Amino acid sequence: MNAVHGRYLQIDLSSGTATARQLTEAVFARLLGGVGLASYLLYRFCPPGADPLEPENPLIFASSPFIGTGITTASKIAVVAKSPQTGMIGDSLSSSYLALALKRTGYDALVVTGQAPSWTVLAVDDGEIRLLPAGELLGLDPAATAHAIRAELGSGFRVAAIGVAGECGVRYASISNDGRLAGRTGSGAVMGSKRLKAIAVRGTQRLPVVADPRGVVRAARELAERSLGPGTAKYRELGTAANLAFFSRLGVLPTRNFQAGTFEAAEAISGERLFLEHRTDKHGCAACTIGCEHHYRTRDASEAVEVRLEYESLFALGSLCGISDPNAVLRAAALCDRYGMDAISTGSTIAWAMECVERGVRLPGSPDEWPRFGDAGSLVRAVQTIGERRGLGDLLAEGSRRAAEIVGQGSVEWAMHVKGLELPGYDPRKLKAMALGFAVSTRGACHNRSSAYEVDFSDQLDPHAEALAWASAAASSEDRAAVLDSLTVCKFLRHCFSDFFAEAAELFALVTGLPMTAVGLRLAGERINTVKKLFNLDQGWTRADDTLPPRLLSGEAGGLTAAELDRLIQAYYCVRGWDEQGRVPPGRLRELELAELLSQDGRMMYGYAG
């Protein structure tokens, strides 16, 4: 096949050695690349029961066949490890030149195992690795770290780095590169546990050729043109921040830790207001024609900060914490980037603490440092204490699930997570497809691995449709997301295809030379989601993990009930061909052509008694 190298580099930080290993064509034919490839490697390298913060947890960076082909937005790197938040698969994507650099090293992926004896920078220079001391970099934010490394090693290196949060073991620490983040599920904490401050990659090899160069150029040009059309208008004009006021109006804007779906001060922090009063400029990611990255600047008496802001940061640090001061939200978002931690989990864990305070639940530390709904200063202070794991922040750095288990006093009732991952900015009580998507998602509450909200925000389904219809729509949405994540194409392109699976299959065939159909690509998406599920089953997933926080299942005001969610989940298992307990029967594995691919590891249990 074309467009891949067919090998990856396994790097053991404990011994300081690297080993090149082969990847068969079947891996790419069935799992595409990107998140699919990285999930497969995680399944192979991470033993059942591994502690996410111990050396046995591999940290995987994977590219895809599309990287370097000129296909717009396809410069994303997949970052996968067992999540220290969920204990299940943790997968993230980040747009950057690092993806291009990795592919030019002559490898399709890096698998980093072990733990360095002391804080280290891993330099990957084509196929050679060096472990460099990182002591002087400790305490620096990711941008400063990258700057220092490139100053020493050369500007040809591209850098992925953690900030202080990753050094301190904040469970939702992220990995930053080129100002973009592999944000969710705590890959930065995994990197920190390996005493790995940064990875610097330089690739000088020729990119592998595509199967049909002229066809790829033509298709890439057409897609780039469509990327500037109405399918991406929102992202180019206002960015995702535009969601906030509209979501509040619909009653689906998580407010004060999901105690409400409408924020009375939504106008003050709306995307429209931010655009008029705070926006400075707009950027695009590596190899992207859309340019959706909107930057904003604080406008108050304090020292100005400028930050990229998305809806998810805006809701998590705004309405979820009852904050109506846009300057505080921007400042808190900038701090999250500087410390290197996921803004959704940061805001949600702080909101949990705010509700504890509101309810009179005693927290560690001085009451003076406890965060309170609507108190902008306390929000910013809480972010700082988490990033440095001091005072109350040491507890909050564990995330809402663990913090609630430690504090007790009934506070698990308002820890708003699924499988340990805090919910993004969609109140699922009024969004039936998204509720199901959150509940069954392999990485915990996630709008990106599901995107099922699109069903809710459309006329695709009658509100009274049968559970199977909702389940089919949610599964289809997951499969499309898995394909996008594995081809490492931006989800903002999804409305630029008139028939996504057919057109993306044609692109895949032009790039790789492997035959692919719309049905085959949809099947690949299902296969990728199944590999993730198999990993979770190996790590101890049970049926009880597929659920939502009790607050969201009260049925109040016509919202979802536990019985209704259960019916949706059962229908979803049925659509997937799983058993009633959500396990993947061996026959389904054979149908998906996964049995042989995975059997080389000799563990084919997947949740069934051996």
Partner 1 sequence: MSTGTTAVRVELFGSPQLLTGRRQVEVPGRTLREVAGALAHEFPALAGSVIDPATGWLTGGYIFVVDGRFTRDPSYPVGPGSTVLLVSAQAGGVS
- Map residue 552 onto helix, strand or coil: helix
Shortest Å distance, C-beta 451 to partner 1: 7
Nearer to partner 1, 238 or 516 (CB): 238
Residue 100 Cα to chain centre, angstroms: 20
Nearer to partner 1, 385 or 448 (CB): 448
Which one among 64, 177, 187, 243 touches partner 1, defined by CB under 8 A?
Answer: 243
Name which of residues 483 to 522 contact partner 1 (CB under 8 A). 490-492, 495
- Map residue 137 onto helix, strand or coil: helix
Count of residues engaged in binding partner 1, rule: CB under 8 A: 44
**Cα 173 from Cα 176, distance rounded (Å):** 10
- Asked if 289 and 73 touch (Cβ cutoff 8 Å), the reply is yes
Name which of residues 337 to 376 contact partner 1 (CB under 8 A). 342, 344
Nearer to partner 1, 81 or 510 (CB): 81
Nearer to partner 1, 18 or 288 (CB): 288
The helix (run of H) or strand (run of E) holding residue 39 is helix 34-45
Please name the amino acid found at residue 158. Answer: R
Which one among 32, 89, 245, 421 touches partner 1, defined by CB under 8 A?
Answer: 245
Binding pattern for the stretch 521-560 against partner 1, x by CB under 8 A and - elsewhere: ----------------------------------------
135 exposure class (CB count in 10 Å sphere: 0-12, 13-18, 19+): exposed
Please name the amino acid found at residue 573. Answer: Y
Residue 145 Cα to chain centre, angstroms: 22
Which one among 118, 155, 230, 464 touches partner 1, defined by CB under 8 A?
Answer: 230
Q: Is 120 one of the binding residues for partner 1 (CB under 8 A)?
A: no
Which one among 147, 195, 234, 372 touches partner 1, defined by CB under 8 A?
Answer: 234
402, two tokens: 């663990």
Name which of residues 12 to 51 contact partner 1 (CB under 8 A). none
Nearest to 183 by CA among 54, 99, 95, 103: 95
Shortest Å distance, C-beta 49 to partner 1: 29
- Asked if 509 and 243 touch (Cβ cutoff 8 Å), the reply is no
Q: Is 454 one of the binding residues for partner 1 (CB under 8 A)?
A: yes
Binding pattern for the stretch 301-330 against partner 1, x by CB under 8 A and - elsewhere: ---------xxx------------------
Nearest to 1 by CA among 33, 24, 34: 24
Q: Which residue has the tokens 């298992």?
A: 573
Q: Is 478 one of the binding residues for partner 1 (CB under 8 A)?
A: no
Shortest Å distance, C-beta 242 to partner 1: 4
Shortest Å distance, C-beta 452 to partner 1: 10
Which one among 26, 138, 233, 605 touches partner 1, defined by CB under 8 A?
Answer: 233
Kindly list the distances between the CA atom of residue 275 and the CA atoms of 254, 322, 347, in Å, as whole numbers in the listed order: 21, 20, 22
**Cα 316 from Cα 369, distance rounded (Å):** 20
Shortest Å distance, C-beta 490 to partner 1: 7
Region of 59-67, 264-272, 299-307, 329-337 interacting with partner 1 (CB under 8 A) = 264-272
- Map residue 74 onto helix, strand or coil: coil
**Cα 376 from Cα 262, distance rounded (Å):** 19
Shortest Å distance, C-beta 144 to partner 1: 23
Ranges of beta strands (E only) in 73-216 are 76-82, 89-95, 109-113, 120-125, 128-133, 158-161, 175-177, 180-182, 196-202
Nearer to partner 1, 317 or 361 (CB): 317
**Cα 392 from Cα 167, distance rounded (Å):** 18
Q: Is 237 one of the binding residues for partner 1 (CB under 8 A)?
A: yes
456, two tokens: 């809710």
**Cα 31 from Cα 391, distance rounded (Å):** 44
491 exposure class (CB count in 10 Å sphere: 0-12, 13-18, 19+): middle
Binding pattern for the stretch 377-416 against partner 1, x by CB under 8 A and - elsewhere: ----------------------------------------
Which one among 3, 13, 219, 238 touches partner 1, defined by CB under 8 A?
Answer: 238
| Residues at the contact surface with partner 1, assessed by CB under 8 A | 181, 183-184, 229-235, 237-238, 240, 242-243, 245-246, 249-250, 267, 271-272, 275-276, 310-312, 342, 344, 424, 426, 447-448, 451, 453-454, 457-459, 463, 490-492, 495
